[in-house]
A and B are shown apart, each in its own frame.
Chain A
Amino acid sequence: GENVEQHPSTLSVQEGDSAVIKCTYSDSASNYFPWYKQELGKRPQLIIDIRSNVGEKKDQRIAVTLNKTAKHFSLHITETQPEDSAVYFCAADSWGKLQFGAGTQVVVTP
């Protein structure tokens, strides 16, 4: 089955700096890669996703890149703000089954 590894497990950044989270996956059949943001005690929220026929996607301050050859994808948050503090999960979808990474705790300090 699919295996997704996510790094780092924690990330502390100064407000205004950029944050990068990296994930690798094992199943070459995976073709959809969503990212979720989860605040403490809240539901995971889909913030951006990328499909296997696209190399990069951007939505305001967040962007995701995908390298299918290397089987890795990354989330980039620019100009971080305190409200970006949360746990971020990457996931890989293989035949309708999402496999999640272990999560990255992002802390943005003012």
Chain B
Amino acid sequence: EAGVVQSPRYKIIEKKQPVAFWCNPISGHNTLYWYRQNLGQGPELLIRYENEEAVDDSQLPKDRFSAERLKGVDSTLKIQPAELGDSAVYLCASSLSLAGFHEQYFGPGTRLTVT
């Protein structure tokens, strides 16, 4: 069974430029998450989707970040414009959320460097 797939794996951009990340979850997983992981810290949730619906986007900086999950499968996360402080690893995770338990499986992440 294929795991969570993310692309690109690395991205270097100049500040004020846009950037987009793509995620394909594990087949059949209805819940998809985007996390940001700063160096030396644990992942922090940006947004959680259940099927097509964003059920928790309270931590998403909506002035510059946007996300979508069309057809309840793949998802994209966009930053426009990027700032120096956005440099981090962006992780996508998915789970099959049943009976209130959420075993989350992570993708390899996209390492973003903003210069």
Chain A residues packing against B (C-beta within 8 Å): 31-32, 34, 36, 42-46, 49, 51, 89, 91, 93, 96-98, 100-103
Contacts and interface: CB of A to CB of B under 8 A. Distances in A.
B41 A103 contact: yes
The majority secondary structure among interface residues of chain A is strand
Contacts of B108: 42-43
B106 A34 contact: no
Interface of B: 4, 31, 33, 40-45, 48, 55-56, 91, 97, 100-109
Contact of B97 (A46, A96, A101): A96
A93 B102 contact: yes
A97 B16 CA distance: 31
The majority secondary structure among interface residues of chain B is loop
Given A103-B40, A103-B42, A98 B102 contact: yes
Contacts of A93: 101-102
Contact of A43 (B40, B42, B48, B106): B106
Contacts of B102: 32, 93, 96, 98
A89 B31 contact: no
B101 A32 contact: yes
Contacts of B31: 96
A22 B31 CA distance: 29
Q: Which 9 A-B pairs have the closest CB atoms?
A: A100-B42, A43-B106, A44-B106, A43-B108, A89-B42, A96-B102, A32-B101, A100-B43, A103-B42
A45 B42 contact: no
B91 to A, nearest CB: 7
A37 B99 CA distance: 25
Contacts of B101: 31-32, 51, 93
A46 to B, nearest CB: 6
A13 B33 CA distance: 34
Given A89-B42, A103-B42, A98 B104 contact: yes
